[in-house]
Amino acid sequence: MIPTLARTAAALLIGNELLSGKTQEKNLFPLAATLRARGIRLCRAVVVGDDQDEIATEVRRLSKEYDLLFTSGGVGPTHDDVTLEAVAKAFGVTAKVHPTLEQSLRNTYGSSFTVDHLRMALVPEGAELIVTQEVTWPTVVMRNVWILPGIPEIFRTKLGVVHANVRGASEFVTRAIYTKLDEGDLTSLLNQIVEAHPSVEVGSYPKWFDPRYKTKVTFDGDSQSKVDLAVEEFLRLLPSGGAQTLDPGDD
Amino acid sequence: MIPTLARTAAALLIGNELLSGKTQEKNLFPLAATLRARGIRLCRAVVVGDDQDEIATEVRRLSKEYDLLFTSGGVGPTHDDVTLEAVAKAFGVTAKVHPTLEQSLRNTYGSSFTVDHLRMALVPEGAELIVTQEVTWPTVVMRNVWILPGIPEIFRTKLGVVHANVRGASEFVTRAIYTKLDEGDLTSLLNQIVEAHPSVEVGSYPKWFDPRYKTKVTFDGDSQSKVDLAVEEFLRLLPSGGAQTLDPGDD
């Protein structure tokens, strides 16, 4: 399979437990890092509960608006696992038991296999199954929608499959400078850099309770030389002694 | 101030860093737990970057659709802090320097105060400032939109103010049973409980790499007796030895 070329992506994180304070959402962060490493801009993430209509509405909207959509959660065998049917609904098709997945389930469960397990073999009509040497359990992709599991340990194994199968038009370059200045005292300087380097995205992140630095300033772009120019000008204009060159490495 | 009575809420989590894999989002979880404890249903969360128009569009939509909206992030003094102006835009008003906030900033920064710090005193016209004994820095609320900071340590201190000022119509009751059964083997039983107890929300969460249990089953509702009835029936129908009564306490 040739990696899909994509500029933009969205994430749909599914599960009542994420909105009721029972479970901390853990999949957005590694997904964002994976897409970033492939040069794809993750533009939006939405968290919704286990509601088929609501999921279908979001899948329809996000899969139209962005090049790729990644869903997480709702793919197990029980009544609250409704993602596969919702994705099918979003594309106006039905979800059917896929023979490859049925066979995988029969092999896994052996004599304890029951018809109830078959919910885990449902895929929207027309979906593709991706199997790799590392991740032998099939990953389901419906057009531009990757349907990933919610359990963080399993989700992360799927990111290797994502990494191998999608790529952006160019890579992102990022640099960070840790300064000892209060964010408010950096404002004028940052405005100057932002104006002079329109192709570089400048971020400013204060840290309140860290003795090592006060504000982390990040520089992002798709050209190393342009990012470097912005960083060099920032450092030149920074009051002397204001920069901390060492990366505290724990933000 | 009388606590605002609300049934539903949404969260808008703002910041490029949350979508680029630089920073793990940490505010949704404690916000969800706070609202849950007050009997308010958090229905949806959306993560967007530092884009004024996009934030304004979401604020308009979510504040109309839900009783309360909580934003997190984008309230500092730099060019990428655009939440206050975006909320103002969503409501068709302008953002103006608030004299109380200006005075707080002048007191905080003393002789190092500059006009650049004034961005942190901007509030949408008509916004209310809430000050409590515990959280003396004003919390900005614009109609049904709570505008909270992104830094997790500061965000959490604001949740005390939220807790004191909002409440739902009734409290949520939740119970959890940890079972040693595979989720697939519980499906029929769960379907039976879901059908017999329509006012109780049943959730099923498999744990893959834990020797102590395989599936956590949760029961949520607004009536203790109804939740108890569902739990009792579930336990009665569970194959003997299938339940783990002790809460492993680390999910």
Please list the ranges in chain B whose pLDDT falls under 70: 1-2, 241-251
- The CA distance from B5 to B208, in Å, is 40
Per-residue model confidence as pLDDT tens digits over A96-154? 999 999 999 999 889 888 888 899 999 999 999 999 988 989 999 999 999 999 999 99
Q: pLDDT value at position A182?
A: 86
The predicted structure's pLDDT at residue B248? 58
What residues of chain A score a pLDDT lower than 50?
A: 250-251
The beta-carbon neighbor of A203 closest among B17, B187, B251 is: B17
CB B231 within 8 A of CB B248: no
Give the number of A-B residue pairs with CB atoms closer than 8 Å: 183
Q: Does B38 touch chain A (CB under 8 A)?
A: no
Q: Please tell me if residue B19 touches chain A, with a CB cutoff of 8 Å.
A: yes
Q: What is the dihedral of CA A118, A123, A128, A130, to 10 degrees?
A: -40
Partner-chain contact B36 A21, CB within 8 Å: yes
Contacts of B251 in chain A (CB under 8 A): 22-23
B198 in contact with chain A, both atoms CB, cutoff 8 A: no
The answer to whether the complex's ipTM is over 0.90 is yes
pLDDT of residue B208: 78
Please tell me the distance in Å from B46's CA to the nearest CA on chain A: 4
Residue B30: closest CA among chain A residues belongs to which residue? A21
Q: What is the pLDDT, as a whole number, of residue B139?
A: 96
Nearest CA distance, A143 vs chain B (angstrom) = 23
pLDDT of residue B169: 86
pLDDT at A2: 63
For residue B177, the chain A residues in CB contact (below 8 A) are: none
- The closest CB to that of A209, out of B25, B153, B194, belongs to B153
Running DSSP on this structure, what letter comes out for residue A170? S
Residue A207: per-residue pLDDT: 85
Residue B27 phi, psi dihedral angles, 5° rounding: -95, -25
Q: How far is A217 from chain B (nearest CA, A)?
A: 11
B chain contacts of residue A172, beta-carbon cutoff 8 Å? 20
CB A220 within 8 A of CB B20: yes
Q: Does B28 touch chain A (CB under 8 A)?
A: yes
Of B21, B182, B204, the CB nearest to A29: B21
